[in-house]
Structure 1
Amino acid sequence: MASRKDEINPVSHPSYPEMILAALGSLAEKDGSNKTAILNYIEANYGESLPEDHAAELSDALAEMKENGQLLFLKNNYLKPDSILTPRRGRGRPPKPKTPLVPGAVSLTPRPRGRPPKPKDPLAAAVAKASSGLPRPRGRPKKHRPTVRTTLHGVAGPVVSGVKRGRGRPPKVRANAAE
């Protein structure tokens, strides 16, 4: 049922969705139009027949159209959904276009990634190993310990393996007085 105001002042402007779509079409901004630009366009074209609270009604109509999918809201701008022709490309290099295969053609397996390995010649590997001698072990070389302990005056005797030496400097070996 219509109120008394509506009977006295009939609406002489189109509905808000129609006005919004007309504003977006005539403004034709690349990234869409913001709410202020749409409001200014509607006031300029339909100003005399708009109600006093038309800004609030415009906000309600924009929100409803956004929920229904009639408008897109990106970066504080409103767009028509069909106005986005190509999606924006992401970061990085774009993928190469794939060529369609001819019907009945056999597809080849793709090449593996990376550098291809060098050809292995078993004879060359054997010759290189034989010419280099025995392979050296990894790490630091072992210490060479003498089998006979020497002193300043001569040979003291063989080293006994498995006997643990004490700490500190060993005592001085003296020649016997009897000798």
Structure 2
Amino acid sequence: MATEEVNKPPSLPPYSEMIFAAIDSLNDKNGSNRSAISTYIESTYGDLPEAHFNIMTEHLNKLKDSGEVVFLKNNYMRPNPNAPPKRGRGRPPKPKTGSSSSSSTPPADAYTGPPRARGRPPKPKDPLSVAAAPMKAAAAAGRGRGRPPKKESGDEETMITTTTVSAVTGPPRARGRPPKAKTEVPVV
């Protein structure tokens, strides 16, 4: 930076002032690009260092980082004082609630019990459900829960208990398709 100050003639104002003057005089609503700013500075101020474009780029980057100039779509412009502050990426942090609050008591809707356990909470114990339990047990006595067990084909006792007695007339049927009946053909 010291060499830039030596090479710059004493009549020139600082680069930040020249950049602000160029942006204000170009007065483009979408902003001004680097080459337009550089052209304006070259036409207004005659004696510029040889590395003018590089020096101007460095100053533009510094002004952009400090927030004095806004960089949008390859154009530089002055920030709008009425614009809301720019929000960063991601979710904003929760507000700090420290001891500096006006009252030391917690709000009325604050939960003060133990921390909640993971998962779904259990159903509440209802006194009416205890009276309904014997009725449920009586209704479920006829059948058990779930799918009934598979019956063996050779167990006649299980067949008799599960089916009506009139339906059982012979040996139990085998699994699968019955064999094709053979018809006798008369000999001619």
**TM-score range relative to shorter protein:** 0.3 to 0.5
Normalising by structure 2, report the TM-score. Answer: 0.44
Normalising by structure 1, report the TM-score. Answer: 0.46
Larger proportion of strand: 1
